[in-house]
């Protein structure tokens, strides 16, 4: 029979032996990157949704994992429809993915709320130099950079070539675009015999209106010396809304029935010759290629220009890193890999959009006349941060004030003075709550 001391000694020896066996096993399963030969594991939430885009993104993740055995990336599928609320829940619950795919106009509240890492000291100089300053502005809030803008989408005019050429109107080019006034005259000339000159799909009217208004010198939001944003509806801000309003309500060259539609909803009527032109995001070309009937001839034209030329606002797609991620450095390395020039081209072609990187944008595949790539590429230098980019409270202002006001104005239910009153007075009351 062992004494108490002998029994204790035996238990200590057994425990030490078991721990000696477990230590290497635990190290091999480690999620951490410090010592022990552990594999770092990152979660990457992607919002790619078109097959070509999903395939390109998943292929790049696979290539990364094949060449970086010490840093494994797990692909997680997200959705554009629910991303804001889903991320907010994940941030507050401490379960956010390490690498986050989003759009720059969704980042402000997350950045100011401390949920995203400042990437300023994490990104390589190569990537910083490759993306133009105006693109970096879209993901800069205060003194920090909270996302890497990598894909952008100008708004263009998709036109029925047969209707356009038979009308005898001047065909615009990026070098000689239509003015907003000329655009209004053209849509009247293209109308008749059951055809509308233009169909505006304005189910979500705010971003369309604000982004196109940059061309006319409109910015809508101004910042005082205290840095707070206020709504100011100037003459430049009125140009685009007035053009759309008059097309629909005055000269009837704009189809009233499309005001509540999304872009995809207008395509059957466009293919059927009911609409001569549809202003759409550049990526809609993929749907047109896939859905257009045999022999349907279409072309891509630049959006109209105003006092500021072809300038228009964009909210690029972005890649960010969660502030709570324990592997920010490795997450930034993965972003740098994803956004190397050849890979950025692959992502752009998969989404039928334009890359932000200057090297990627030089790729010959993005300058062909087929499917309007060259027109889009010519517009890239004119893309600017969307006016609402860094405005705190913008989502509520958009949903509760601007969307219903613009919808009523475009339908003819209210006039220009009432539109201005709602956007400015009601809007500033909303913004003030976020800027106290």
Could you tell me the pLDDT band of residue 293, with boundaries at 50, 70 and 90?
Answer: very high
CA distances from 418 to 245, 388, 408, 412 (A): 14, 21, 10, 11
- For the whole model, what pTM was predicted? 0.87
CA distances from 230 to 222, 277, 313, 390, 435 (A): 5, 34, 18, 12, 10
Question: Residue 223's pLDDT is what?
Answer: 86
Read off the pLDDT of each residue in 379-406 and give the average, rounded to a whole number. 91
Rounded distance, CA 281 to CA 263, Å? Answer: 8
Question: Residue 393's pLDDT is what?
Answer: 86
Question: Residue 181's pLDDT is what?
Answer: 98
At 271 the three-state DSSP class reads: helix
Residue 21 pLDDT > 70: no
Question: Residue 225's pLDDT is what?
Answer: 80
- Mean residue pLDDT of the chain comes to 91
Task: Quickly count helices (H) and strands (E) in the chain.
Answer: 20, 15
Question: Residue 307's pLDDT is what?
Answer: 97
- Give pLDDT tens digits for 1-16: 444 344 444 444 444 4
| Beta bridge mates, 158 | 278, 300
Question: Residue 35's pLDDT is what?
Answer: 40
Among candidates 320, 313, 386, 319, which has minimal Cα distance to 347?
Answer: 319
Rounded distance, CA 51 to CA 275, Å? Answer: 28
- Give pLDDT tens digits for 313-351: 999 999 999 999 999 999 999 999 999 999 999 999 999
- Give pLDDT tens digits for 237-292: 999 999 999 999 999 999 999 999 999 999 999 999 999 999 999 999 999 999 99
Question: Residue 362's pLDDT is what?
Answer: 97
Question: Residue 3's pLDDT is what?
Answer: 41
Question: Residue 16's pLDDT is what?
Answer: 45
Could you tell me the pLDDT band of residue 23, with boundaries at 50, 70 and 90?
Answer: very low
What are the structure tokens assigned to 119, written together?
């990437």
Question: Residue 224's pLDDT is what?
Answer: 81
Residue 389 pLDDT > 80: no
Could you tell me the pLDDT band of residue 37, with boundaries at 50, 70 and 90?
Answer: low
* Domains of the chain, each with CATH number or no CATH: 40-152+316-385 (3.40.190.10), 155-302+393-434 (3.40.190.10)
- Give pLDDT tens digits for 190-219: 999 999 999 999 999 999 999 999 999 999
Read off the pLDDT of each residue in 363-381 and give the average, rounded to a whole number. 97
Read off the pLDDT of each residue in 399-428 and give the average, rounded to a whole number. 97
Question: Residue 250's pLDDT is what?
Answer: 98
Question: Residue 388's pLDDT is what?
Answer: 81
Read off the pLDDT of each residue in 399-403 and give the average, rounded to a whole number. 96
Question: Residue 407's pLDDT is what?
Answer: 98
């Amino acid at each position: 029979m062992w004494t108490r001391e002998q029994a204790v000694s035996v238990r200590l020896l057994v425990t030490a032996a078991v721990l000696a066996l477990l230590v290497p096993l635990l190290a091999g399963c480690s999620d951490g990157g410090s010592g022990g030969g552990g594999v770092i594991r990152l979660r990457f939430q992607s919002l790619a949704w078109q097959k070509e885009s999903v395939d390109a993104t998943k292929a790049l993740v696979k290539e990364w994992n094949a060449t970086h055995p010490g840093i494994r990336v797990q692909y997680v599928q997200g959705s554009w429809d629910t991303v804001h609320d889903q991320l907010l829940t994940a941030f507050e619950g401490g379960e956010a993915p390490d690498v986050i795919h989003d759009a720059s106009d969704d980042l402000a509240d997350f950045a100011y709320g401390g949920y995203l890492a400042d990437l300023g000291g994490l990104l390589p100089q190569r990537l910083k130099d490759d993306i133009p300053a105006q693109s970096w502005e879209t993901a800069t809030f205060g003194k920090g950079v909270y996302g890497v803008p990598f894909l952008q989408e100008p708004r263009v005019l998709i036109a029925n070539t047969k209707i356009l050429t038979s009308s005898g109107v001047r065909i615009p080019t990026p070098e000689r675009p239509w003015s907003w006034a000329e655009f209004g005259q053209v849509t009247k000339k293209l109308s008749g015999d059951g055809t509308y000159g233009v169909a505006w799909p304005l189910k979500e009217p705010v971003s369309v209106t604000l982004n196109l208004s940059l061309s006319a010198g409109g910015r809508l939001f101004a910042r005082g010396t205290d840095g707070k944003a206020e709504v100011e509806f100037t003459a430049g801000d009125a140009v685009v809304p007035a053009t759309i309003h008059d097309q629909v309500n005055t000269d009837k060259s704009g189809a009233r029935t499309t005001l509540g539609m999304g872009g995809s909803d207008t395509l059957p009527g466009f293919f059927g010759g009911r609409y001569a032109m549809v202003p759409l995001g550049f990526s809609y070309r993929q749907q047109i290629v896939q859905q257009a009937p045999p022999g349907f001839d279409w072309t891509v034209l630049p959006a109209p220009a105003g006092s500021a030329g072809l300038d228009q606002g964009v909210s690029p797609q972005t890649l960010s890193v969660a502030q709570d991620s324990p592997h920010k450095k490795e997450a930034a390395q993965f972003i740098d890999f994803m956004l190397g020039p050849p890979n950025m081209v692959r992502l752009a072609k998969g989404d039928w959009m334009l890359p932000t990187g200057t090297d990627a944008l030089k790729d010959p595949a993005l300058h062909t006349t087929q499917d309007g790539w060259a027109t889009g590429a010519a517009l890239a230098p004119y893309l600017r941060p969307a006016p609402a980019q860094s405005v705190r409270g913008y989502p509520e202002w958009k949903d509760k004030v601007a969307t219903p006001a613009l919808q009523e104005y475009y339908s003819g239910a209210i006039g220009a003075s009432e539109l201005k009153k709602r956007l400015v007075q009601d809007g500033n009351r909303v913004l003030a709550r976020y800027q106290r």
